[in-house]
């Protein structure tokens, strides 16, 4: 939850208000709201994937509460590119109001439309390309090509009478991209000459010195690994990384292998990419994975999801021998992706599991099979020097990334007071070339748990962690309401605490004595008596077993 919450003042005429609802202090659920003249523009609407301390949670959404009562004021949602951490929460926003227009490139909109189809939502869309300008409500939008680990990514320049804002989305400055589409630094330069009043810039690799390596260096490595693999090859990557899939397809074809896609999202996204011309597959290379199992082991490459160690994704199920394809001796598994912060333990568990099965696991740590999609420090310095923005708001990253990005901005001469280190819910007003923090909204995490959205709280997650780590004890006791004497019980049952319930025989007299004393002191309420039981057995379990389990006492009055 944000610290130092305080309400922003009413928005003054001629002022642009900017407030991120996700993506700051975390890598995921990116969403920023722009407000001008009573209208709202949303840039990105993504999800965050849960970590181990959030058991049972499927997805984490931005907190829509600050705009929930203003859905009619939203003139559009600009989607900078098609990654889940930028588009994954769109279905949940459109469930609140289905006719909010979505604005983005062709591939980005195709990916979100396929996702929305599963939610039975048919969106209103506006397809845009780099160099295009659109007036959306009071916002004059210009779209700029940027290079990222998915085709068709766009930065967006937002012009209002209050000033010019440039939001990069996710980007890097690969000078030799696979599709030939580079980050448009000429457009950046032109905007710099016009005068960028506020720069919202990707921070993910701000603490990485130098420059992000080019994607072209990955292809030869993949080709070499595949050519030397004696049996099956399984490549795991993000299901939207079209460039990486293209390289795998090319390497497989060059080595006389066919390719089978595994995982629903991989099949869906690559079908869309191929249909739109972003993925070029030679005739006869693709094969259905069920038919692929009839091929010789040295003639197949499986392209799968699960590079982040997700429990239900294809690669994890393979490692646990819960998939039709069981990796074994002589197989090669390539993890062609980076590690999202927080996923390290899950990824290494999968690597260990595959290695134990006899597979040769190739990953970023031992071979150049992936490069990042985000600009490193050297690239960010170029951007600051080209743009010379008046104010900077680092976005998209954990706090250390935001801090490193702010330091880079200051190194290029941007004053510290014009470099805003914000968190989710920070309200920034831009007027007369000056951006300043004017409020901090009280927002938090919104958890998707099965079919429920926003019902699960942090307290529920704490209970789940206790259940998983410390166990559960139930105590049922029947007492005489007048004397406090135990008529039946206590019956104590435990799960995950001790091997045998007989260990609790020593605490039963203590519970009976505590109840009798409480009744004699005037306590008659069943809830209060339940708390007496909870405290008594809780102290005993902590001292005797060194555990802090969840305790559910039930006191019945006879």
What are the tens digits of pLDDT across the range 475-528?
888 877 676 677 777 788 777 766 566 777 777 888 877 877 777 776 667 777
Most confident of 98-102, 242-246, 340-344: 98-102
Binding-site positions for substrate read 370-374
Binding-site positions read 370-374
> Does 457 have pLDDT greater than 90?
no
Which residues 6+ apart lie within 8 Å of 428 measured at CB? Answer: 17, 18, 19, 198, 393, 420, 422, 435, 436, 437, 438
Q: Would you say the C-alpha torsion 51, 52, 58, 64 has a positive or negative sign? A: negative
Q: Reply yes or no on domain 215-362 having CATH 3.40.50.10710.
A: yes
- Report, as an integer, the average pLDDT of 38-45: 97
- According to CATH, the topology of domain 470-557 is Ubiquitin-like (UB roll) (3.10.20)
Predicted pLDDT of residue 337? 78
Structure-model confidence comparison of residues 461 and 335, the more confident one: 335
> Does 54 have pLDDT greater than 70?
no
> Does 1 have pLDDT greater than 60?
no
Please provide the average confidence, as pLDDT, over all residues in the chain.
87
Pair 145, 154: CB distance under 8 Å: yes
> Does 289 have pLDDT greater than 80?
yes
- Under the banding of pLDDT at 50, 70 and 90, the label for residue 272 is very high
Predicted pLDDT of residue 493? 79
Enumerate the domain spans of the chain.
17-210+372-453, 215-362, 470-557
Structure-model confidence comparison of residues 510 and 287, the more confident one: 287
The DSSP symbol for 503 reads G
Residue (of 19, 21, 17) closest to 39 by Cα position: 17
Predicted pLDDT of residue 349? 84
Task: Please tell me the distance from the alpha carbon of residue 492 to that of residue 16, in angstroms, as a whole number.
Answer: 62
Task: Please tell me the distance from the alpha carbon of residue 120 to that of residue 375, in angstroms, as a whole number.
Answer: 36
Predicted pLDDT of residue 451? 61
Task: Please tell me the distance from the alpha carbon of residue 212 to that of residue 201, in angstroms, as a whole number.
Answer: 16
Q: Reply yes or no on domain 17-210+372-453 having CATH 3.60.15.10.
A: yes
Q: Is 308 helix (H, G, I), strand (E, B) or coil?
A: coil
Pair 514, 532: CB distance under 8 Å: yes
Q: Phi and psi for 228 in degrees, rounded to 5?
A: -95, 0
Q: What percent of the chain has pLDDT over 90?
A: 55
């Amino acid at each position: 939850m944000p610290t130092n919450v305080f309400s922003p003042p009413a928005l003054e005429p001629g002022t642009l208000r900017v407030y991120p609802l996700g993506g700051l202090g975390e890598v995921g659920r990116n969403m920023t709201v722009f407000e001008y003249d009573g209208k709202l523009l949303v840039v990105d609407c993504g999800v965050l994937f849960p970590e181990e301390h959030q058991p049972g949670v499927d997805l984490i959404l931005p907190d829509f509460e600050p705009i929930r009562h203003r859905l009619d004021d939203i003139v559009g949602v600009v989607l900078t590119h098609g990654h889940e951490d930028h588009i994954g929460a769109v279905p949940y926003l459109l469930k609140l109001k289905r006719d909010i227009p979505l604005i983005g490139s062709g591939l980005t909109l195709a990916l979100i439309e396929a996702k929305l189809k599963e939610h039975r939502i048919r969106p209103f869309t506006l397809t845009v390309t780099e160099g295009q300008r659109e007036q959306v409500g009071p916002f004059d939008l210009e779209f700029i090509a940027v290079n990222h680990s998915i085709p068709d990514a766009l930065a967006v320049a937002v012009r209002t009478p209050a000033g010019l804002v440039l939001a990069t989305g996710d980007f890097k400055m690969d000078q030799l991209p696979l599709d030939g589409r580079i980050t448009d630094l000429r457009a950046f330069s032109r905007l710099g000459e016009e005068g960028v009043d506020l720069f919202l810039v990707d921070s993910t690799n701000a603490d990485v010195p130098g420059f992000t390596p080019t994607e072209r260096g990955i292809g030869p490595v993949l080709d070499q690994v595949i050519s030397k693999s004696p049996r099956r090859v399984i490549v795991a990557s993000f299901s939207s990384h079209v460039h990486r899939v293209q390289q795998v397809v090319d390497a497989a074809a060059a080595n006389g292998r066919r390719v089978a896609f595994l995982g629903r999202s991989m099949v869906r996204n690559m079908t869309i990419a191929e249909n739109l011309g972003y993925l070029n597959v030679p005739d006869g290379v693709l094969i259905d994975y069920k038919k692929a199992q009839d091929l010789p082991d040295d003639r197949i490459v499986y392209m799968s999801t699960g590079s982040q160690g997700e429990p239900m994704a294809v690669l994890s199920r393979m490692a646990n021998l819960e998939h039709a394809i069981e990796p074994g001796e002589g197989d090669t598994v390539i993890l062609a992706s980076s590690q999202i912060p927080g996923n390290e333990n899950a990824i290494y568990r999968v690597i260990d599991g595959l290695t134990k099965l006899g597979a040769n696991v190739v990953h970023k740590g031992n071979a150049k099979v992936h490069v990042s999609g985000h600009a490193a420090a050297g690239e960010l310095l170029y951007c600051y020097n080209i743009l010379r923005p008046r104010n900077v708001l680092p976005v998209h990253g954990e706090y250390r990334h935001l801090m490193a990005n702010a330091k880079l901005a200051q190194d290029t001469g941007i004053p510290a007071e014009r470099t805003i280190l914000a968190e989710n819910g920070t309200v920034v007003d831009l007027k007369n070339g000056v951006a300043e923090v004017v409020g901090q909204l009280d927002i938090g995490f919104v958890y998707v748990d099965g079919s429920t959205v926003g019902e699960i709280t942090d307290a529920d997650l704490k209970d789940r962690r206790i259940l998983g780590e410390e166990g559960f004890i139930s105590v049922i006791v029947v007492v005489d309401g007048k004397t406090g004497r135990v008529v039946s019980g206590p019956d104590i049952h435990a799960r995950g605490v001790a091997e045998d319930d007989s260990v609790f025989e020593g605490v039963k007299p203590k519970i009976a004595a505590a109840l009798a004393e409480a009744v004699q002191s005037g306590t008659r309420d069943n809830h209060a008596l339940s708390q007496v039981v909870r405290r008594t057995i809780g102290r005993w379990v902590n001292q005797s077993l060194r555990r802090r389990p969840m305790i559910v006492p039930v006191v019945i009055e006879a």
